[in-house]
Structure 1
């Protein structure tokens, strides 16, 4: 399993956003001895990012001993006390994470999903955040946005009123459902991107000097306050410099701008049949079922970093009580299935 996927699955579990299939995959990964270096690195990164946990050394050591009880006579357990104590902390953190306790003291910046009350009104808004991962967010109207690393989007839990408004920090690829009566507006500081229904990418990190808006489908209007910066169509981009308050419109290859999210595969409460259709199209492979019931099983999972079709099947099939067979004619999925 790729190092990046292990870290991704671990982070999703800590953020309490992993599916059952992803949890099973993570647990399977952590049971292999050759994953120890990756586990150490993930724990170090998590430790650096989280606030201090009030856990005494005695308690950590006790939890560690319980975890290692089946093998407490091994040479690994008999190493120096300093090494044992480091692993006591690591093991304690793992146990607490899988018990759902470790992240009680996490900072707001580390929450992938939170609900807040905007100060301007009493409507509840939703904030979706990412750290070192991509995330697909489905908005109240069915539109979607894929967030890049270290990005966030804020929006009302329903799009009541005359407008559909969201607030973006970082980078996101939007696919907006058409609505002639309700414009969709993305706020990035003072810059507003307005559409009715289209697909486009916005890059607007706080530390970047420029805000970039690129269109892949439809038409987009970009404003700074009340001043129109331009109206752009597919393969066009507006770049607004925040320091000089100037903008420019250029022709680009939009596909290259949005390729950061092209390898992402999101299964959001889909059936095995729907997943097979997506995989068949993605990998240009015929996928069939030997049992109609196997088509009905539903699940949620996310795959990043360009996993192969077989890597994906190895995860989703066992979770759905199914097996797969790859032949010269394609893939056959077998299993008891779901009612």
Structure 2
């Protein structure tokens, strides 16, 4: 992971970062799971400055990490710091900050968790492809975060409401608190509950935000307008644009089945299932037939069967042809 962090920092400094690489680097810093490696890089940088090596390129590359920590926010704010000329001027102020970092073990935690002075500390957790995470929130709500997903939540919830922000997919078991609603924000779609278990699927690139209830009752709003009130065994698909919203019954055993390693679909677009396959197995899959993308599929299988067998099942159901080349899959 150290090599990956160094690579991302170099990309950032040389103004070569893709949007995905910027996201990855900011997530690493905010998640706090590699503070040790980042701390070590900062220490090395400081030692080199003390030895008079401040003109070296590596110093600039490592110094940019601290600049990034002080510029968490929009990409517009970050972009003005990506210019090498500005970075050179800021090199020695960065070194001064590093002195404070070495003197205080809490420096990185503070720079990561405070979005603005005086605000509640915010935690950001994310998963890569083929990765899941279990989270226990401060109110004892349990969250299972699916692959390629991100969730933001406060370290401690307030007394009047509990709010989280989700990109991707997660299964929630919300701790009941009658006076404190639990609110999940997914773009323009908001899910409000008091205490229940349910699944929210809101990946970028998919047409709908899907909310499926396993127990209890939830309210789903779009742009602050009530769309549906769901109970056990019900599901709603809310269009992200101005398309049609859909309510349906759902097999309760299938809600959040991915937690137990089962992939189950009831009348789901072929293209959306393939997107799931790419996340679950961390592979590249190309659909060469545009009409095939819109075909609705009903199927289920264990994740453990592997990507090739899973794709063979999907292709058999849709009379499609599967081809593998160099670790990539193509479907005609």
Give TM-score, length-normalised by structure 1.
0.46
